[in-house]
A and B are shown apart, each in its own frame.
Chain A
């Protein structure tokens, strides 16, 4: 049995391990409908990834999809847009947390605002360094 796509193989294994983890958790803490549904979903996804990784034709199609220029462009555009939306959302959340924290003198809210501000700052620095890197490279 040969693995044609290692990425899909390990992804499948991760989902199956997750499903098994949920199963074991269920035995200890009892089975809830939400957890059962999640477990079945993880198992199905894991098995489908495993089957794709063990099939030569499916792996070839997956690799072709990964290398496809339009798919790469869509991936880049969506990551960029997601980053922009996350940054805008972070600013709004910061304002809300600091506003509520200041108005009600709640340190927990101010702390949450600081956490969001830290994430926002990291994303700004990451964007700046990534831009510098690609400016130099290209």
Chain B
């Protein structure tokens, strides 16, 4: 997601998806997970799918490993 976000400034992205730049900074630092609608808006801006933008497949595999260890 960092690589995707580096294409434009945080302020520009924030204005396009109607959130504050502080929210974009938090998302980039992985301190905050965006809502589905926000993730969809961001995916639209970058012309990718939500799955690609949020690396859902990789994160799911990581979570599955954690559930296996429970």
Q: Residues of A at under 8 Å CB distance from B?
A: 64-65, 67-71, 73
Q: Is B59 an interface residue (CB 8 A)?
A: no
Q: How many contacts between A and B, using CB within 8 angstroms?
A: 24
Residues of chain B at the chain A interface (Cβ within 8 Å): 18-20, 22-23, 26, 32, 34-35, 38
Q: What CA separation (Å) do A68 and B24 show in the bound complex? A: 11
**A68-B22, A69-B34, A70-B26 known, 6 other contacts, Cβ within 8 Å:** A64-B19, A68-B23, A70-B19, A70-B32, A71-B23, A73-B32
- Among A65, A67, A68, which residue has the most Cβ atoms of chain B within 10 A? A68
Q: Which residues of A contact B19 (CB under 8 A)?
A: 64, 68-70
Q: List 15 A-B contacts (CB under 8 A).
A: A64-B18, A67-B18, A68-B19, A68-B23, A69-B19, A69-B34, A69-B38, A70-B20, A70-B22, A70-B23, A70-B26, A70-B32, A71-B20, A71-B22, A73-B32
